[in-house]
Amino acid sequence: MGPVATRMQSKLTDALAPIELTIEDDSHRHVGHAGHDGRGESHFNVTVVSDRFQGRSRVDRQRLVYRILSEELADRVHALSVRALTSVEAAQKSL
């Protein structure tokens, strides 16, 4: 895991106390596309399972994650796909 992904992991862990957190660096698939400057760590897929999402809409959950990662989004991260679930939702999806 690179330094940007490590920082993202630390921030999300501190803010959301996730039950599950997966950060996938998808930058290699975007070489030559807009937002890829050759440094890497620019495109990510994040799945976070946290009960701190309870009672929040899907949009509110994504806004919360974007707010937590605002520094990374302002600098290096060009694209961030977020899947944010509560533990109950995650359990239902795995059935």
pLDDT in tens, 10-62: 999 999 999 999 999 987 664 555 555 566 678 899 999 999 999 999 999 99
Half-sphere exposure of 37 (CA within 13 A, CB side): 9
Q: Which fold is adopted by the domain 3-83?
A: GMP Synthetase; Chain A, domain 3 (3.30.300)
pTM of the model: 0.86
Domain regions of the chain by residue span: 3-83
Q: Which two tokens stand for residue 67?
A: 């707010």
Contact status, residue 41 vs residue 25, Cβ threshold 8 Å: yes
Q: Which residue has the tokens 């897929």?
A: 45
User: Residue 76: pLDDT band by 50, 70, 90 thresholds?
Assistant: confident
